[in-house]
């Protein structure tokens, strides 16, 4: 029996603070105006995408103590944006990244449950943690968490949020006019969680949301991160774009999901990816080269490499050879914020020098090779073929697609690639479900085990028997003083 064709899951993300966003392009729009978010979300919904995704930036990147003047800045907070998009979309899931290190379970669970209600069951939460003191400076908590504690806090946070979301049964609000009772009983919403990270107990105020709870996304590559995601996430961000590596990750996560006691099909794997289309394969490659050079200017290339060298590289020619100095591993960080971590700086620089020498790369060309390669480049047919092949062979369950151009970069994918995927039966032509969970094909959330309260029938009062009043004996009037 042949394997059934998988339906490709598609998400769309609006690029934030990173070098992929070409804000200097004359066609680029605002990163903060609501019209940009609305255009991208409605384009994704037109293409029958599963969800719209927003990352989170709690601190802007700094270079030697100053904001990077090459970065896009000023994007509004994630949750208000998603709540606003709920009013201008009907089917598209709305997924936001919110940090578990610098928030509290009651507050965030209430916000996400509210988003799920407002959107009719389309909310999702990408759970992330933070261990760096740089981001922590903006919060009273600071950077107190050690690396080994961040997953512990995230696990307790997610456990607490689930307890809050599960504290209301689906039938808790009968709004029974005949009996004059709005709530089933007054005991719903009780929760208590006591652990090393949280010691909370109270009453949750938001009734059960349309899909039971928001869809949970998580990214984790380390063994601890994989176990955390396999045990509690509904979807996992995969970092792999090579099919053999992606297939191995897929098999590993599938085994961990089973080991966690969850049924098959409980988790979806989704890598992020960039695409470039052209009328011919060569047109697409040439366009990809032009976009890469716009993404990684000479100045951007210097900054990307400064994160590893930990030195000021502005004196080096971007079109010349790599710096001949060694990394400064003892000084304070030159670049702080959203940067790629490379581990051993000396080993990384050694490998980069060998790569540059073997290929004749300049400083900028090396940065382009390392940081600006689109995963899917070709004609619409070629891109559709590669996406479909990757998913049908269990490299992933779909992709979260981004573009260098805000907010119109997704338009040509929806116009040119989506119809090809629909023709071969790999992508829906209409939304089947009413919630994000249903459209992702995830198992429904079971009803919480909350016992039905015993509500006694009102007692019928006995008829009153009137008895003669017996006057109190008159006594002496108390003395006045």
pLDDT for 369: 96
> pLDDT at residue 193 above 50?
yes
Confidence (pTM)? 0.89
Whether 338 and 61 have beta carbons less than 8 Å apart is answered as yes
Between the ranges 125-134, 313-322, 366-375, 442-451, where is the mean pLDDT highest? 313-322
pLDDT for 82: 98
pLDDT for 340: 55
- For a pLDDT cut of 90, what percent of the chain falls above it? 72
CA proximity to 272, closest of 27, 12, 26:
12
**Residue with tokens 């119109």, as numbered in its chain:** 408
pLDDT for 447: 78
**H-helix segments, 2-146:** 34-46, 78-86, 105-118, 133-136
∠ CA(114), CA(120), CA(125), 5° rounding?
A: 55
What does the block give as tokens for 338? Answer: 């959203």
Q: What average pLDDT does this structure show over 5-22? A: 89
What does the block give as tokens for 105? Answer: 């379970």
Crossing angle for the helix pair 363-371 and 298-309, to the nearest 10 degrees: 80
> pLDDT at residue 208 above 90?
yes
**Pairing relation of β-strands 9-13 and 62-63?**
unpaired
Q: How confident is the model at residue 452 (pLDDT cuts 50, 70, 90)?
A: low
**Residue with tokens 């652990």, as numbered in its chain:** 195
- Using CA atoms, how far residue 466 sits from 98, 463, 469, 473, in Å, is 67, 10, 9, 21
d(CA 406, CA 410): 9
Between the ranges 24-33, 138-147, 442-451, where is the mean pLDDT highest? 24-33
pLDDT for 198: 93
Q: How confident is the model at residue 341 (pLDDT cuts 50, 70, 90)?
A: low
pLDDT for 130: 82
> pLDDT at residue 16 above 80?
no
Q: How confident is the model at residue 74 (pLDDT cuts 50, 70, 90)?
A: confident
- For a pLDDT cut of 70, what percent of the chain falls above it? 91
CA proximity to 98, closest of 128, 77, 71:
128
pLDDT for 450: 55
Q: How many CB atoms sit inside 10 A of residue 414's CB?
A: 19
pLDDT for 220: 80
pLDDT for 473: 34
Q: What average pLDDT does this structure show over 233-259? A: 96
Instruction: Give the rounded distance of the alpha carbon of 300 from its chain centre.
Output: 26
* Choice among 133-147, 236-250, 405-419 with the minimum mean pLDDT: 133-147
pLDDT for 1: 56
**H-helix segments, 331-449:** 345-359, 363-371, 380-392, 411-416, 418-423, 436-439
CA proximity to 195, closest of 133, 105, 271:
105
> pLDDT at residue 454 above 50?
no
pLDDT tens for 166-182 read: 999 999 998 989 999 89
pLDDT for 442: 95
Please provide the average confidence, as pLDDT, over all residues in the chain. Answer: 89
- Beta pairing partners, 474: none
- Which run of H or E residues covers position 253? helix 243-259
pLDDT for 147: 72
> pLDDT at residue 462 above 70?
no
pLDDT tens for 79-105 read: 999 999 999 999 999 999 999 998 999
pLDDT for 222: 86
pLDDT for 337: 81
The SS3 call for residue 361 is coil
What 45-49 contacts at long range (C-beta under 8 Å, 24+ apart), as own/partner pairs, is 45/89, 45/90, 45/91, 45/92, 46/414, 47/10, 47/410, 47/413, 47/414, 47/418, 48/10, 48/418, 48/422, 48/427, 48/428, 48/429, 48/430, 48/431, 49/10, 49/11, 49/12, 49/92
* Choice among 82-96, 335-349, 441-455, 456-470 with the minimum mean pLDDT: 456-470
- Beta pairing partners, 95: 53, 124
Q: Which residue has the higher pLDDT, 12 or 223?
A: 12
Whether 291 and 374 have beta carbons less than 8 Å apart is answered as yes
Cis geometry, peptide bond prior to residue 266 (ω within 30 degrees of 0): no
pLDDT for 343: 77
Whether 421 and 5 have beta carbons less than 8 Å apart is answered as no
d(CA 193, CA 396): 35
């Amino acid at each position: 029996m042949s394997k059934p064709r998988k339906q490709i899951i598609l998400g769309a993300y609006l690029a934030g603070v990173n070098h992929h966003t070409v804000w200097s392009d004359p066609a680029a729009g605002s990163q903060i105006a609501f019209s940009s978010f609305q255009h991208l979300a409605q384009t994704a919904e037109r293409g029958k995408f599963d969800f719209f995704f927003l990352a989170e930036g709690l601190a802007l990147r700094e270079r030697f103590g100053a904001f990077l003047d090459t970065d896009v800045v000023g994007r509004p907070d994630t949750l208000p944006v998603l709540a606003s998009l709920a009013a201008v979309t009907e089917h598209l899931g709305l997924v936001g990244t919110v940090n578990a290190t610098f928030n509290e379970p009651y507050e965030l669970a209430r916000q996400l449950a509210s988003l799920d209600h407002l959107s009719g069951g389309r909310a999702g939460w990408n759970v992330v943690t933070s261990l760096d003191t740089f981001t922590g400076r903006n919060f009273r908590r600071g950077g107190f968490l050690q690396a080994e504690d961040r997953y512990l806090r995230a696990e307790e946070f997610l456990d607490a949020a689930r307890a809050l979301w599960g504290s209301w049964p689906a039938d808790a609000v009968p709004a029974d006019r005949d009996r004059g009772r709005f709530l089933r009983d007054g005991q719903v919403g009780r929760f208590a969680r006591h652990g090393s990270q949280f010691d909370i107990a109270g009453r949750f105020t938001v009734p059960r949301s349309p899909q039971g709870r928001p869809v949970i996304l998580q990214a984790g590559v380390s063994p601890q991160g994989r176990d955390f995601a396999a045990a509690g996430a509904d979807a996992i961000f995969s970092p792999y774009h090579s099919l053999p590596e992606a297939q191995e990750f897929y098999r590993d996560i599938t085994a961990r999901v089973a080991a966690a006691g969850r049924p098959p099909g409980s988790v979806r794997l989704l890598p992020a990816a960039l695409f470039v289309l052209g009328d011919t394969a060569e047109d697409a490659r040439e366009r990809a080269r032009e976009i890469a050079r716009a993404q990684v200017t000479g100045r951007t290339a210097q900054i990307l490499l400064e994160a590893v060298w930990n030195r000021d590289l502005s004196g080096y020619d971007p079109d010349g050879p790599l710096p001949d100095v060694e990394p400064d591993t003892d000084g304070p960080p030159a670049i702080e914020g959203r940067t790629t971590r490379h581990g051993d700086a000396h080993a990384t620089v050694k490998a980069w020098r060998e790569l540059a020498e073997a290929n004749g790369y300049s400083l900028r060309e090396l940065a382009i090779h390392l940081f600006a390669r689109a995963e899917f480049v070709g004609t619409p047919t070629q891109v559709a073929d590669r996406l479909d092949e990757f998913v049908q062979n269990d490299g992933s369950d779909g992709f979260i697609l981004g573009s260098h151009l805000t907010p119109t970069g997704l338009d040509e994918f929806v116009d040119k690639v989506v119809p090809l995927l629909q023709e071969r039966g790999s992508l829906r032509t209409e939304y089947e479900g009413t919630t994000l969970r249903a459209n992702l094909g995830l198992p429904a959330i079971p009803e919480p085990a909350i016992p039905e309260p015993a509500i006694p029938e009102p007692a019928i009062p006995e008829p009153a028997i009137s008895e003669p009043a017996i006057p109190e004996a008159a006594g002496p009037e108390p003395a006045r003083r």
